[in-house]
Homo-oligomer: A and B are copies of this chain.
Amino acid sequence: MAARAKAPRVGPYLCGIDAAFDVLSGKWKALILWELHAHGVRRFAELRRGVPGVSEKMLTQHLREMEEDALVHREVYAEVPPRVEYSLTEHGHTLNEALGALGAWGEERIRREGCEVVGGAEAVAR
């Protein structure tokens, strides 16, 4: 996992979607991105509270990977109670914007599901 940057799946990538998905593969990455986008700058414990259900291990791991991928910026203050601040880089911001359309699609899907009670894929597809 640490060597993910050097382990392409077959060729480097099959297409752009593939590359984008690689960067945010992980249960919580999109949520972290969103949280960071919404608040600008967040500390570790704030993110932990802002992303409900995430474990400390996963949060660190995902943050490190996103840092490697140049999506988030990590600022460490060598203070007595350790303080670390996370924020989005420019690439992080543009990724978030690219995610906008997908988010809208997802919300429409939630609406559909909410109305049609799920289970009737046939009915949804009409």
Contacts and interface: CB of A to CB of B under 8 A. Distances in A.
Contacts of A68: 121
Interface residues of A, number: 51
A88 B125 CA distance: 10
Interface of A: 5-6, 9-10, 12-21, 23, 30-31, 34, 52-53, 67-70, 73, 89-91, 94-95, 97-110, 113-114, 118-119, 121, 124-125
Contacts of A119: 5-6
State how many copies of this chain the complex holds: 2
B107 A19 contact: yes
Contacts of A19: 106-107, 109-110
Q: Classify the secondary structure of A's interface with B.
A: helix
8 contacts: A10-B52, A15-B31, A16-B103, A16-B105, A17-B34, A23-B106, A90-B125, A101-B101
